[in-house]
Amino acid sequence: MLISSPVSETRRYLIQILLPVYDKDGQPFGETVFAPTRAELTDRFGGLTAHLRAPARGLWKTGDGTVERDDIAILEVMSEGLDEAWWREYRARLEARFRQDVVVVRATAIAVL
């Protein structure tokens, strides 16, 4: 006998957006940049988790081998689907807003338990 699993009905995507806390001159972005971002995501997805108080630190090697770093905030939303075209366009808006060459947006399929 097969029993349908409720987990398949609760599949979602967890989308994480890694945003810099400081601009390239070391000045904090502040609410004028973060507030509209939080509002846009909350309006579209109905909720948001913002990890802002203890920024994560990102490290990466450049082409010449030096190590760069960024303090980042992580914004998370959950969605039933994944509209990749919308996310590409939104990522480009965030890159302009935060004056970044690349903003990392990543999605993971999850099961809500």
User: According to the model, what pLDDT value does residue 56 have?
Assistant: 80
* pLDDT tens figures, 13-70: 999 999 999 888 889 998 999 999 999 999 999 999 998 776 687 777 888 988 877 8
User: According to the model, what pLDDT value does residue 7 have?
Assistant: 46
Residues present in the chain in total:
113
